[in-house]
Every structure is written in structure tokens, then in C-alpha cells.
A and B are shown apart, each in its own frame.
Chain A
């Protein structure tokens, strides 16, 4: 934190900030105030995440089925063995991964296009920006119902386009495609906004200079814009990937997990609320948590300093 002011060094000289000598009264007061101000947020966040996660680990080591409470007992890693050898879990895991990778890849391309459009358009910029925020704001369940009805024979204009007997939501591949479509539609604006913030950082002079030197549009994009935007791109990818991995609402409404389209979140939900099996549910919860941690770790390794939060020293 001692380099907190490097970003805007002129505007923010901080009294009593330099060096390590004994803390002045003001300094102590500042520390107290800081801790005091952060305490409520920190307590809530820790209480509602750290404790439940530990409790979840504890539950996952037990046979704990609310339908047979008498049989509750500690069984070590048996739940993990049960889940990890179960084909339903791996199907859901594969489906979730597939949906995540495909939808994030499409979103990146569409989001970049949309960002460029929002950044560059010469007509109706305000309108485009406003309208493209709507999918971000819409309740996912509402959007999912819209897609559901659109692809249901009878109520759906899209299903009707496919022919009189088409029922895409009852088949594996078409269902997956529709789930990805719903996911992409909903979250592309978010991706685009993050990328647009990155685009705003690209200096016009650099682009002009590149154009002078004879770089065509594609070269300007790959050689000038993308490198400057790299941190924004990685942040957008990280957030979207972890978010997509949690996919639940869309699948719940579109297929309710039929035809092997369950995600890991759906599986956990089903075990918990339909099966009332806390042991298995917790095991899945822990496995999902570990997967997300691994994904985040990989991303942050790739990021280096671009990770939000890792560069706080330079920014705060």
C-alpha cells in the first residue's frame, strides 16, 4: 500500500504516508477508522462464505440424507467416491465445461464486435448502447422463458421455422445449442462493455500512426488494439468463464436438465432439493468450488499482473 499513489501522484500526496516512523495520532485514527469501516463488510462476507464452505466440507464427509436422518454418520471420502464414479456427475461436468467453453468463445467474438460497434458507430450511439444493455439487465429466467417458448412447437416462431414436427428442446444437440444461444444472448453485452472499456484505453494516435505506416484494419486490430486491451480481455474472460461455469437458470427453464443437459449446478440443486441428500449435495458443492478455484488459478497465472486486485498497490 505504500505505493498507493503512483497512479495519480500529483493529485494525491498523502500526509504521514512516507516512511515507517512511529505512528502519529492521526495515523492511528486513520487505521482505526479504516478497520471500523471495513468491519461490517468483512464480517458479512466471511460469515456467509467461509463458514458455510467449511461446513460444506464437513457435511460432505458424512452420510446425511434428510429422508433418513437416523442413518447420519461420518463416512470419510465415500461420498466423493460415489460422486466421482458416477456417470451422471461426469456427464453434467462435461456438459457444463462444453457450454462454458463454447459460449465464452462466441461471446468473446460477438462481444468484441459489439464493443467496436458501440465505440465506433456514427449513428445512434446512445441508442445502441442503451439497447444492448437490456439483455444484461433482463432477469435470466425471463429471457430463458422467451427462448423456451420461441423453440417450443406451437408457441414458438423459431420452432415453427424448423418445420411442423420440430421440437429442438427434446433433443440433445439442439438443446445444447439453444442453451448456449440463451447464455450468449444474455451475457454478450457484459463482455462488450468490459471490452469497450479496454478499447477506450487504445490511444487514437497509435492507430493513426499504424495506419500511416500502412497497417490495414486487421493489422491495426491485432497489432495495436489487442495488445493494449489485453488486460481488459483477460478480465472479461475470467469473469465470464467463472460465471458461465455456474450456469443454472437457463438450463432449469429450457430443459430442466433433460437429455443429459444438466449442469453441475443443476445436479447439486437436484440432489439437495429433490433428493434432500445433504452429504452428496455438499460433496458436489465442494467439487464445484475446487473446480472454480483451479480455473481462477489458471487464469490468474495467465494474467500475471492484469488480475483485478493483484495490482491494488499501484492503483489504490
Chain B
């Protein structure tokens, strides 16, 4: 920094103010939905930021309906399976891209980049028809497959950046000692890459968890509808009852995993996002 001098009280105060502005800006919508979720039916419309009368009724309500629980199970299952497959395939490809020399590498990198920029909606119509024909429409697999596809570029970019930071000598030494490239990968590189793989898994999970377009287009019943899609149907379903409180409670519930990830793995998420996107 240009001014490394003593940190004056004035500068400290100014930075504190700036930081407070940032924190408030980032949290306002989250706090608002949290506030709505704790309001009673009577106070829902008072517009107060802090609820006057607190209740857990909204949470009790959503967990009493099978719809929400079913959607939650769908979301968790689909996101975890898609993440696992995308990360395994992504790790294999990223290792090859970062470490091995083979024909078609540029092609794969190019394809990944294209898909990362791909308009998802362009796939929705053809996939809708293909999945109906194959019987995949409104099934877990029908969502898992597109999720894997869009998660792969993310994992390939992020992981190949991680792989490139692992010292190459270790692998060479393993090969020297008689390990095949496959063994060198499993025994030496994979354990070192574990933190990168974990980070990638979080990013991919967030991506799958957040998806709305596929979830709403490629499902039609609660057999496979994920929470973001289910949320938007709360509105239409209950015409005579204001669903605000229950939507808010459900929204808070699906936000919790993300907040937990962010709180515990902030450093890793930042590293993963930036290395994948910029150094990639």
C-alpha cells in the first residue's frame, strides 16, 4: 500500500463506517425474509423490520406439509448426486488438462468455456421434449443430468487451477519409484488436491441448489420439484390464504446451508471462485 503509516483513529472510524455500510447492504434482504418468517399472521402486514409478535408457526406449518419436505429431500438428493458426479468427472478431466499432454485438450477447454457461457434457456425446450420421450421428465435424473453438464465447466476450471499449484516433482518422484501415472494420481496427487476438490464441491453444490430455470421447466410434480421451484408454487396454490409467512420460512430454511458454507469456508470459496474464473 502507498500509505503504510500509522493507522489513525480517524481512518479506523472511516473504514468501520464503510464496512458497516457493506454489511448492511449485503444483509438487508436476508434479514427481511427472516423477519417475515417470524411474524404472526396478524402482524405480517405491518411493515416493521423487527417483528412485534414472534412466532414459529410458519416453520411448523411448512414442516407439516409433505410438499415442502418432499421438495427439500429432492433438492438435497439431486444437488448431492449431481455434485458428486460433476466433481468426480471434473477432477479427472482437470487433472488431465493440468498435467497430461494429449490431443483434444484445447477442444475440451474450449467446450467448457462455451458451456460456462451457454444460455441455459436454450437447452430447456429441447431437453423438455427429449426427456419426455425418454421418460426422464419430472425425475431426479432429469435434473441431475443438466446440472452435471453446467457444473462441469465450473469444476474443470476451478480444479485445474488447483492442480497447477501442486508441485509437479511429487508426482515425478512417485513415478520414479515405479508408480504408474494412475497410481501417482491416486496416491500422491488426489490427497493433495482434496482441499481443491472440496472447494469445488461447495461451489457446484451452491450452483445446483440455486437453480430455478431447469427445476421449474423439467419438473411437474413434487416427485422431483426442488425447493426453489416449489417455493414459487406456494403462491399460486393458496389463493385464499396469504402464503407470505410460509414462503419466508421455507426461504430461510433453504438459505441456512448456504450461510453455513459461507461462514465456514469463506476463504476457500473465494479462492475457488477467483482461481477458476480469472487464472483459468
Contact = CB atoms under 8 A, between A and B. Distances in A.
A31 B102 contact: yes
A312 B105 CA distance: 10
B248 A131 contact: no
Contact of A268 (B102, B125, B172, B209): B125
A176 interface: no
B105 A34 contact: yes
B92 A130 contact: no
Contact of A138 (B128, B149, B157, B255): B255
A48 interface: yes
B1 A120 contact: yes
Interface stretch (A82-90, A143-151, A167-175): A143-151
B217 A134 contact: no
A231 B280 CA distance: 12
A190 B148 CA distance: 21
B108 A41 contact: yes
A26 B45 CA distance: 71
Interface in B48-74: 48-49
Contacts of A11: 167-169
A97 interface: no
A20 B206 CA distance: 44
Interface residues of A, number: 116
A50 to B, nearest CB: 9
Q: Range of interface residues on chain B?
A: 35 or more
Interface string A208-230: 10110000000010000000000
A249 B212 contact: yes
A282 B125 contact: yes
Nearest to B146: A48
B254 A269 contact: no
A296 B117 CA distance: 8
A210 B248 CA distance: 51
A48 B247 CA distance: 33
A291 B15 CA distance: 43
B165 to A, nearest CB: 9
Interface in A1-46: 1, 4, 11-12, 14-15, 17, 27, 29-35, 37-38, 40-42, 44-46
Interface string B111-123: 1111111111111
Given A308-B157, A309-B110, A309-B113, A269 B121 contact: yes
Contact of B212 (A53, A194, A248, A315): A248
Which of B19, B23, B168 has its CB near the most chain A CB atoms (within 10 A)? B19
Contacts of B273: 136, 190, 193-194
Contact of B101 (A30, A291, A309): A30
Given A40-B93, A48-B123, A142-B251, 13 more contacts: A45-B152, A53-B126, A134-B26, A134-B262, A138-B255, A140-B212, A141-B232, A155-B44, A159-B47, A194-B273, A269-B124, A308-B277, A316-B164
A-B pairs with lowest CB-CB distance, top 10? A34-B102, A197-B274, A52-B126, A146-B29, A34-B100, A137-B258, A41-B93, A37-B96, A48-B149, A37-B92
